[in-house]
Structures are given as structure tokens and as C-alpha cells.
Amino acid sequence: MVKELGSLDVRGKRVLLRCDLNVPLKDDGNGKRVITDDGRIRASLPTINALLDGGATLIITAHLGRPKGERKPELSLAPIAERLGSLLNRSVAFAHDTVGPEADSAVAALKSGDVLLLENVRYEAAETSKDENERKKFASKLASYADVYVGDGFGAVHRKHASVFEAAELLPHAAGTLVAAEVDVLRKLTESPQRPYGVVLGGAKVSDKIGVITNLLDKVNMLAIGGGMVFTFLAAQGKEIGTSLVEHESIPLVKELLSRAEKLGVRVLLPTDIVVAPSFANESPTTVNADSIPKDQMGLDIGPESARAFAQAIKECKTVFWNGPMGVFEFSNFAAGTKVVAQALTEVSGLSVVGGGDSAAAVRALGFSDSQFGYISTGGGASLEYLEGKELPGLTALR
């Protein structure tokens, strides 16, 4: 169990708060980066407000994308500091470095109850270094800014990174309310799911999700697969998949999983029809039978018949976990499968969980609101690794 926020005395203290503010951004055409979905910032507000109400001063550290130790301007947290300020309705100071001279002076200038956001923690190569000593050194510098540590960046808890793991170990610590809520839901999915229990997986990469399938196969009643990853399943069944996404190296494992599922009596739903196109573009959609994908076409969404079958199976479940879109939902011609599945999730009478920041952004982009789902997890990789049964360093550090 992670330590609860209430167990930490924060009054008059400086808190190093690790948040997950890794939101999608795009260029507005005039060189300005704009946030396209601020779900993760909003999800961080309860802990921030609880700490401020408790009399803390906040030094927030977070990452954006994967700058790999380089100062990539498009991955600056500056627009996030601005949005955070407007959501909190108070001023949020921003340091253009993470542990450099500007951060030093910004921390020194903090008055009681102030909020400071440090620049992208992954601009520092030491944050993600494989070398434990490098990470420790960097974490000590971060920890020197504060009296206590609060871990609330659920989307990064599966990473053994300095701001997630080592910094937590260096200070009295606790989990934020977001991390506590995420863990609570994930425990329900792994320890005591109400049945029937269904898992719906999609998205681009089969290798990202195969561990979850392996670990959950003997716990679920139904497994539905869509998205780009489904073509590796169809290829494993010997079907022609045209120019669709495929991971050949995963085919043997997929075959093994399919036969294990059959032995276990797990109902596996694969699409029976596919929406294909000649290229990866929002053009010329055609629906074909999953057994007859033309050689020169690529599958970009599950077809309407499959979407209906998935939706029906989902609605029969009392617990459903969904990660990954059913198709290239960013293209309007290939968003229908994801929409139908999302709609079915909103109609589940038990617990429906949307896993992952990208899946959450997908359902919001398609016009759904968070409150229509039982729970929307902010961490894609983190929730998947939890469901794979792996130990998550960011949670271990908060015990």
C-alpha cells in the first residue's frame, strides 16, 4: 500500500510534487504550442489544492514527451505552467531550467503558499539515466529544494526515474490523491473484478499490450482486440492483412495466447470486418471482410459489424478495462469503431475503466465526457504494467 497524503505533515513545508502533466500539444500555426487536451493537468488539481489548503508551498516537477536529455523547445512546460495557473486561478511561477540557476533563484524566492513549476525534468539526461548514481545525484539536487515529497505522477510510476523513484526515497513522502485513486481502481481490476470481466485492447503496438494479455488471460471472461495490433492476430491466423501494421516477431506469442485462451474458455473477439484504405490518410474508406483484405490496402478501423459485436459483448460485462483506440480515430473516416466501443463502455452497468492518457484523449476528442465512464486512468503505460503484474518503482518508493 502507498502512504496516504493525510499521513504527511505539510503545513509550512516545501513540497516537491511529482505530477504527470504530459499533455498533447500542437503548433497553432504561428509557432505557439497549444494544449489539445488538458485532462492530465486537471487530474493533478485535487492533490495540488489539497496541499495548498494544507499550508504547503509547491515545487512541481514533471515531464513532457521524450526529449532524451536535450532542451527541445517544443517540449517546454511553459504552456503548461500557464494553463495550470488559469485552472488554479492563481499565479504559477515557471523556471526555465530544472535544477539550474534559474530554478535555484525561483525556489529561493518562494513565499509561503506559492506554486513553482520547474522546466521539463527530462531535459536533464540524469532523470532517465541507467546509471543509479547519476540519478541519485540529480534526485538529491531536486530534493534539496524541499522538505517533503509527494508522488502524484501516475503516468510515470512505471519508470525508475530520478524524480519518480530516487527523489521519493530521499524525503519523507506520500502518494497524491490521484495515484491513490488509480491504485484503488487497478486493484479492483486485478483482485476482485465483478463478472463477467472483459478487456478491450487496441492501439498501435501489440508488443505494448502482450504482457497484459498474458497476465490477465486467466482472470478475464472476454477479450476483444482491435486497432493496429489486431493485424498481428489476423496474420497469426494465417489471414491476408495487406499493407496493415504488423509485428511479425510477435506472431508466435500471439498464436500461443490464442490457443491458451481457447483452453481457458476465454471468449476472444477479433473483428470480422475491417475498414481499409490505400494509404495512411483520411481518404477512400472501404469496408471488407476480415478474411479478404486486399493486398494493396491497409486496415485502419474495425468495421461496423465488428463494432456492434464488440459493443454487445462489452455491455454484457460487469467490469471492463479498455486501452487503445479501435482504429486511427484521428482520421474522421476511421473513428467509428472507437466511437461505438466508447459508447458501449458508457453503458456498462458495473465498473468501466478507460486506461491511458491517449485513450482518454481519444474519447474526449470524440465528444465523450469523463463523467460518462466509471474511471479514466491517466497512465497508459503505468496502468498496463500494473495489469501485467509488474512492480512499479514509483509505487514501491511511496510505500
Query: Which residues lie closer than 8 Å to 323 by C-beta, 6 or more apart?
Result: 200, 201, 202, 203, 209, 212, 354, 355, 356, 359, 380, 383, 384
Indicate whether 204 belongs to the interface with ligand AMP (CB under 6 A). yes
Backbone angles phi and psi of 305, in degrees to 5: -65, -45
Residues 272-301 that bind ligand AMP (CB under 6 A): 299-300
> 178 near 46, Cβ under 8 Å?
yes
User: Which helix or strand (DSSP H or E) is residue 235 part of?
Assistant: helix 230-236
Q: Examine the residue annotation and report whether 205 is marked as an active-site residue of this protein.
A: yes
Q: State which residue, 305 or 358, has the beta carbon closest to ligand AMP.
A: 358
Determine the size of the site formed for ligand AMP (CB under 6 A). Answer: 15
Select which of 155, 203, 242, 381 is catalytic: 381
Q: In this structure, are residues 16 and 150 in contact, taking their beta carbons and an 8 Å threshold?
A: yes
Minimum CB separation of residue 6 from ligand AMP in Å reads: 34
Could you tell me which residues come within 8 angstroms of residue 262 by beta carbon, excluding any fewer than 6 positions away?
268
The residue sitting closest to ligand AMP, measured at its beta carbon, is: 203
Instruction: Determine contact, residues 15/56, Cβ cutoff 8 Å.
Output: yes
Report the SS3 class of residue 294: coil
Q: Verify binding: residue 327, ligand AMP, rule CB under 6 A.
A: yes
Closest CA to 270 of 330, 322, 222: 222
Q: Does 227 bind ligand AMP (CB under 6 A)?
A: yes
**Does residue 54 carry a catalytic annotation?**
no
CB-wise, 151 or 325, nearer to ligand AMP? 325
- Shortest distance, position 130 Cβ to ligand AMP, whole Å: 24
Please select the residue that binds ligand AMP; options are 245, 313, 314, 376, rule is CB under 6 A: 245
Residue 357 in the binding site for ligand AMP (CB under 6 A)? no
Q: Are 318 and 195 in contact (CB under 8 A)?
A: yes
Does 379 engage in binding with ligand AMP (CB under 6 A)?
no
Is position 303 an interface residue for ligand AMP (rule: CB under 6 A)? no
Residues at the contact surface with ligand AMP, assessed by CB under 6 A: 203-205, 208, 227-228, 245, 299-300, 324-325, 327-328, 330, 358
Mind telling me the catalytic residues? 40, 205, 357, 381
